[in-house]
Structure 1
Amino acid sequence: MELDEDILTGLRREVEEETGLQVTPTALTGVYKNMPRGIVALVFRCRAEAGSLRESDESSAFRWVTAEEVAKLADEAFAIRVQDALAQHLTAPIRQHDGLRILG
């Protein structure tokens, strides 16, 4: 995010830059901290409103996968974000990871 951007404006801009889609956030689905790097990621479920998928400098391909398939495609620290977004938690999970694995 840019220093002067609010969270939702930054989210919308990043998604459009990386995917070509214009989205509306519908729920915060998790908060994740990379402990070694000190980076906090807020993950949102979004509804696509306009645009079409396209590759960018930060994305090279797109495809639909199940929650089980994502566990085979990504490290645990990233797969859990998709799995949490698909789950129906009462509150957004807050998790820590080391860049590869969930801690604690």
Structure 2
Amino acid sequence: MSGTALAAGVVAVAAGLSLGLAAVGGAAVTAQRAAGAADAAALAAADVTSGAVSSGEGACELAARVAAASGSALVSCTVDGLTATVEVRSAYSGLVAVARARAGPPNT
């Protein structure tokens, strides 16, 4: 009987650890996805601002569309000269990952 209880305890601990690692892994993936979305959104906004890309919409509108295509939501977008700064958020299991990115000419 004690062997069965020990085996059940080991299985329960292994299952708990597996679920915990899956949650941590999912959160890490979401954080990386948010960072990638922020980078892409900032680059898109900076490209529109500099004239490298012509678009019928404004820089921040395009940044919002790029962030949404990456599964994130644009929270803030500012354009200062040719430099664009954005903040995006992504959610995973009730947790929110926030990422910020800046794009523009070097040394600005």
The structure in which a higher percent of residues are helix is 2
The structure in which a higher percent of residues are strand is 1
Larger radius of gyration: 2
Regarding TM over 0.5, the answer is no
| Alignment TM-score, normalising by the size of structure 2 | 0.28
